[in-house]
Amino acid sequence: MLFAATVGTTMVSCSDDDNLGDAPRLFRPIASATVNSNTLKVEWDKIQGATGYELELGLVTSTDEDGTNHLKVIKKATTQDDTYTFDDLGWDEKYGVRIKCIGDNKESEYYEVKAQSINYPTKVSGAKAIDNAARVSWAEGGQKIKYVMACPAEDAENHDTISVKVSDADYAQGYVDVYGLQPETSYTFKTYDSSSDFNNTTYAGKTTATTKASVNFDEKYGEGMWLDTRNWDAKEAKDTLKTAEFWNMVKDGMTIILRGEQEYKINNTISLDRNVTFITGMTLGGNAQFTFSGGMNVKKGVNIDKVKFESIDMISDKQADKDAFLAGTDKSFGGRQVINVSGTGSTISELIFNDCYIRGFRGVVRGQKNSDNFLNITFKGCTIDGVGDQGVVTIADKGGDFRNVTFDDCTITNIIMLCDLRKTAQAPTVNVNNCTFCYAPMETTANANTPLFRFATNTANLNITNSIFGPSMATDGSAGAKLQLYTPGAKGSVLLNGESTVLSVAGSYKTNFAYTPIGADAKTYGIEGLIDFKGSETDLWTNPAKGEFKFNANLDSEAGASKWK
């Protein structure tokens, strides 16, 4: 005869020593327990004089240093047999059992069975946490995961459970991100192979993680001068930056904190008219991504002190597929720009790209009229891969006010042209510090109109320090038309087309490419003062064709971008 009941009390394990005292008492049943799946079977030898046995099943809530378990009783049972099985137990919990025997007006003290763990053979491999989110990961094979529940610890201030449905794409990539968590809070992430039924049958394992402390945004950016968008709905956030509703929330000088690996669509409906910074916040993986179907504009007649982009991937919608980008031959890379203005009569005093990845544009910062002004443009710690025949920075021959352009600690590859500053309101200065160039500019024997630096007769100042220049990017037949990305040009390079350039070069190198003769007089457009490495790009770097520029050879120099040192 069996009886089981669910209860909720707390108990502490007893000593194994019998102390019968003076009162008549039965001996305790010495029991053992075995686990099979999520059942726990308890067995013991029958005690003389006993007519039944009482058992208590408890969850182990904590364990003292001396090994004493504290149990929360969740079930009681009675039986006349010498075995009892607790079934359908919760997975990934530790259980303790106490048993005593009862007889005619007698009973024994409790005997506590060694605690047992009910472990689910899960494919869940762990969770990586930041301040407001966690990435729950799993391995291939086994039970499919369809749902994740984030359950905060009992002592958390906010006890709301956050649930996330796992899409087929999430499952295939091996993880799902759970947002909306509280900082500095311990969570248990339970997974299920159902989107509607959550029980032992659908349970697929769990993992735990503690979220990190949040950045003090008030202290970092100023009270009321930041907007954290990381918990916004991911599907709606994709088009957020193009909406008037969003810009109505953005104060002058505000910092916009973006979710890592979230895509944000950008086009020419965005007209910059105030000081603003966009930055990827604490992230579970990579940067936020801006996907451009058109370049940002600048509102007419405005003066902006600073626009800054930090830790953001900027990719043309025409080059969003990396494999298609690598196979591409179009020297305009689809025709997009990051910022593209024409006759605004506006000025941005500082335009900063910090730690950004930029890929697949015809131009990055482009002015088209003499009233388009960008006084100081800085790329710091950026990777720039694939920019076309307008150049990374261009005002061409239109005469806008482009005063200082700086490339600092950047890796620059597959570039048709870096700067086109043939005519500016005043003499521009271009600074290149600790940069790594390879497959730049485009190989051509046609003319010198797509050099790395195109200044023509403009009195430009070009300062190159601690930088390395690899070979040009190949084109079909060296004709300067169809590109071959990550392939060295056969005919050498055209670096500087500038008749009045004031040049300063220090601590900088070139690999063993030649300079391309152009025209009937076979004029070359090189940069004097570069030290010849006397080896190819593959002699110098580990795998340049894959965009990896760690050194094979020691230059005994501080030259090149720091990420490769």
Q: Tell me the two tokens of residue 323.
A: 């494999």
* Domain contains 106: yes
Domain shared by 143 and 252, yes or no: no
Domain shared by 267 and 326, yes or no: no
Asked if residue 142 has pLDDT above 60, the reply is yes
Q: Tell me the two tokens of residue 400.
A: 């806008």
Write out the E strands in 300-410: 303-310, 312-316, 337-341, 346-354, 357-367, 372-380, 383-396, 404-408
Q: What is the mean pLDDT of residues 415-439?
A: 99
What pLDDT is stored for residue 25 in this prediction? 84
For the chain, what is the domain count?
4
What pLDDT is stored for residue 9 in this prediction? 44
Spatial neighbors of 223 by CB under 8 A, at least 6 apart, are none
CB 491 within 8 A of CB 470: no
Pairing of strands 312-316, 357-367: parallel
Specify the residue for token string 């009862």.
102
Q: How many CA atoms lie within 13 A of 357 on its CB side?
A: 12
Q: Average pLDDT of the chain?
A: 94
Asked if residue 8 has pLDDT above 90, the reply is no
Q: Which domain holds residue 263?
A: 225-293
Domain shared by 172 and 81, yes or no: no
pLDDT tens per residue, range 262-294 = 999 999 999 999 999 999 999 999 999 999 999
Q: Tell me the two tokens of residue 274.
A: 């105030």
- Identify the helix (H) or strand (E) that includes residue 98: strand 93-103
- Identify the helix (H) or strand (E) that includes residue 271: strand 271-272
* Domain contains 217: no
pLDDT tens per residue, range 354-408 = 999 999 999 999 999 999 999 999 999 999 999 999 999 999 999 999 999 999 9
Task: Tell me the backbone φ, ψ of residue 246, rounded to 5 degrees.
Answer: -65, -50
Task: Tell me the backbone φ, ψ of residue 155, rounded to 5 degrees.
Answer: -90, 10
Domain shared by 418 and 314, yes or no: yes
CB 404 within 8 A of CB 380: no
pTM, to two decimals:
0.87
Strand partners, 54: 78, 100
Q: What DSSP state is assigned to residue 15? A: P
Task: Work out the pLDDT band at 2, boundaries 50, 70, 90.
Answer: very low
What pLDDT is stored for residue 155 in this prediction? 76
* Domain contains 79: yes
Residues 272 and 341: their CA atoms lie apart, in Å, by 11
Last residue of a domain, one of 118, 145, 163: 118
pLDDT tens per residue, range 478-526 = 999 999 999 999 989 999 999 999 999 999 999 999 999 999 999 999 9
What pLDDT is stored for residue 143 in this prediction? 78
Domain shared by 436 and 542, yes or no: yes
Task: Work out the pLDDT band at 14, boundaries 50, 70, 90.
Answer: very low
Domain shared by 436 and 539, yes or no: yes
* Domain contains 53: yes
Domain shared by 399 and 542, yes or no: yes
Domain shared by 141 and 199, yes or no: yes
Domain shared by 186 and 304, yes or no: no
Specify the residue for token string 């080896």.
535
Spatial neighbors of 214 by CB under 8 A, at least 6 apart, are 131, 132, 183, 282
Buried residues in 267-279 as b, exposed as e (16+ CB within 10 A): bbebebbbbbbbb
What pLDDT is stored for residue 45 in this prediction? 94
Q: What is the mean pLDDT of residues 444-448?
A: 95
- Burial (Cβ within 10 Å: 0-12, 13-18, ≥19) of residue 141: exposed
What pLDDT is stored for residue 245 in this prediction? 96
CB 540 within 8 A of CB 533: yes
Q: Which amino acid is at 214?
A: S
- Burial (Cβ within 10 Å: 0-12, 13-18, ≥19) of residue 565: exposed
What pLDDT is stored for residue 414 in this prediction? 98
Residues 261 and 149: their CA atoms lie apart, in Å, by 22
Phi-psi region of 413 (alpha: psi -120 to 50; beta: other; left: phi over 0): beta
Residues 183 and 436: their CA atoms lie apart, in Å, by 39
Nearest alpha-carbon partner for 338 in 371, 377, 283, 380 = 377
Range with the lowest mean pLDDT among 75-79, 153-157, 171-175?
Answer: 153-157
